[in-house]
Chains A and B, each alone.
Chain A
Amino acid sequence: MLTCKQASEIISQSYDRRLSWRERLSLRLHLLICDACTNFAKHMRFLRQAARRFVQGQAEADEQVRLSAEAVARIKQELARQQKR
């Protein structure tokens, strides 16, 4: 039988690696009888979702970010130089 601490470890790791069937089974059994860990599992799902949304939001905020004309010119020059070698 898993303790809550162990259950929280397995729930967390389910976002990092594939769980074994044994882990999945014991986790499911634990969650059947434990509201606290069931809430925790939902919170972890939320956390992943929030992180994804955060990244997406940043990316949209960066939409205007682009290489400056000077940078493009400089990089092209460098690429040409390296190709000749």
Chain B
Amino acid sequence: MATSEAAPTSPQDWLDQHGDVLYRYAYFRLRDSAQAEDLVQETLLAAWQARQRFSGRSTERTWLIGILKNKLVDYFRKHREQPLGDIADTDAEVDALFENDADQHWRISPMDWANPTQALQQKQFWKVFTACIDALPPRQAQVFSLCELDELDNDEACKVLGVAPTNLWVMLHRARLRLRQCLETSWFGHEGGR
């Protein structure tokens, strides 16, 4: 057995030291306490079995979170609804944002939002923000939340969704165009945004 000087110990000690942080990380992404608890347990077991590979180059906590993240990716892969619907070749609503000619200008130009960061302080804005995400086609909402909210990197998100990076980028582009449009219509184009 490899003896590292800072020998922790046991997985139980890890649980005492990092359990809540790991749990919170999982809970935020799963919104399910039983599943989050299971993942914490799996993570600690996997970490214990792999403890010789802990190089000490990162902190123990960072290392554990890295393992948890892998477990989460596996979990998403297995349990998230299969890629919702197929990757539509086109998104009519998005196509309609641009002229259908060689120049492909915006049909309606994106406005100047003046001072958008002010919105971040307003409760009402967050209602609009989540409503806009919910209004996305399911697959786009899935892609957006994996990449932008769960903060998976490209490779991880592709693994979960079973798509190539180019497809991922197309979906993100569409999701962002729609979200932008929705925020402009529901917030920045209105009194509420001022």
Contact = CB atoms under 8 A, between A and B. Distances in A.
Contacts of A15: 172
A8 B173 contact: yes
Interface residues of B, number: 51
A5 B20 contact: no
A24 B37 CA distance: 45
B109 A35 contact: yes
A75 B41 contact: yes
Interface string B103-127: 1111001111100110110000010
Contacts of B173: 8-9, 12-13
Contacts of B28: 55, 58-59, 62, 65
If over half of A's interface residues share one DSSP class (helix, strand or loop), that class is named, otherwise mixed; here it is helix
B54 interface: no
Contacts of B120: 49-50, 53
B163 to A, nearest CB: 13
Instruction: Classify chain A's interface size.
Output: 35 or more
A58 B25 CA distance: 11
Interface string A71-85: 110111011101100
Contacts of B16: 72
Interface in A24-72: 35-37, 39-40, 42-44, 46-51, 53-55, 57-59, 62, 65-67, 71-72
B44 to A, nearest CB: 6
Interface of B: 10-12, 15-16, 19-20, 23-24, 27-28, 33, 37, 40-41, 44-45, 48, 98, 102-106, 109-113, 116-117, 119-120, 126, 129, 147-149, 151, 154, 165, 168-169, 172-173, 176-177, 179-180, 183-184
8 contacts: A9-B169, A16-B154, A16-B165, A35-B109, A40-B106, A47-B179, A54-B126, A75-B44
Closest CB pairs A-B (n = 4): A36-B109, A3-B104, A5-B104, A12-B173
Interface of A: 3-6, 8-9, 12-13, 15-17, 35-37, 39-40, 42-44, 46-51, 53-55, 57-59, 62, 65-67, 71-72, 74-76, 78-80, 82-83
